[in-house]
Chains A and B, each alone.
Chain A
């Protein structure tokens, strides 16, 4: 069974500084995908970034980058130049395909609450 571990219940960062949110995973699959989502207090899960297990380069999406270390089974999210609006819960998730088809489910970690201080 797949497992996602986020060991940081809460993180604080000063505005305009960079922050790294940790994520480790466990799977026996050779092909897998890793996602990061942001969940503000409104509840909606907002997609941030995706990394495929066979992607040769670390994923980047604007101020978000994913530090993917396959041998260590880690997929840390790096947010550069933090903004006050980045304060939210952040979830790491892994994709698991269902019944051999093209549809899938996500297994989530417990999340990290990021607070950006002015």
Chain B
């Protein structure tokens, strides 16, 4: 049973560019959440997608947007990249509020230069 798959694993972009990160949830999961983890910090909630809609957003600007497809996979888009967007971006999938929480992917490490 495949877990959460994220692509690409690493990415280097230039300031001002746009980036798209992809996530395939664990089989059977219908909810995808995205987190940003800066170096030396804990992950921070960006937003969550359920039924192809953004359900909740954390304290992130509109440059961060997303999408969920009918097969539950998801994309995270970041426009006008800043140096401060360099981080590990984690995707997590879940099925409702289950006791054992999310299943996380290994993340995409984004470096903005």
Contacts and interface: CB of A to CB of B under 8 A. Distances in A.
Interface of A: 4, 33, 35, 37, 42-47, 50, 52, 91, 93, 95, 97-99, 101-111
19 contacts: A4-B42, A37-B104, A43-B90, A45-B102, A47-B100, A91-B42, A95-B97, A98-B55, A103-B94, A103-B96, A105-B33, A106-B35, A106-B43, A108-B43, A108-B44, A109-B42, A110-B41, A110-B42, A111-B41
A105 B101 contact: no
Contacts of B56: 98-99, 103, 105
B107 interface: yes
Contact of B97 (A42, A104, A110): A104
Contact of B96 (A33, A45, A102): A102
A47 B101 CA distance: 8
A10 to B, nearest CB: 11
A44 B104 contact: yes
Interface of B: 31, 33, 35, 40-45, 48, 50, 55-56, 58, 88, 90, 92, 94, 96-97, 99-107, 109
Given A43-B88, A103-B31, A97 B97 contact: yes
A106 B43 CA distance: 9
Nearest first, the 3 A-B pairs at minimum CB distance are A108-B42, A45-B104, A43-B107
Given A45-B90, A99-B55, A50 B40 contact: no
Given A45-B104, A101-B55, A105-B56, A111 B97 contact: no
A111 B42 contact: yes
Contacts of A111: 41-42
B51 to A, nearest CB: 10
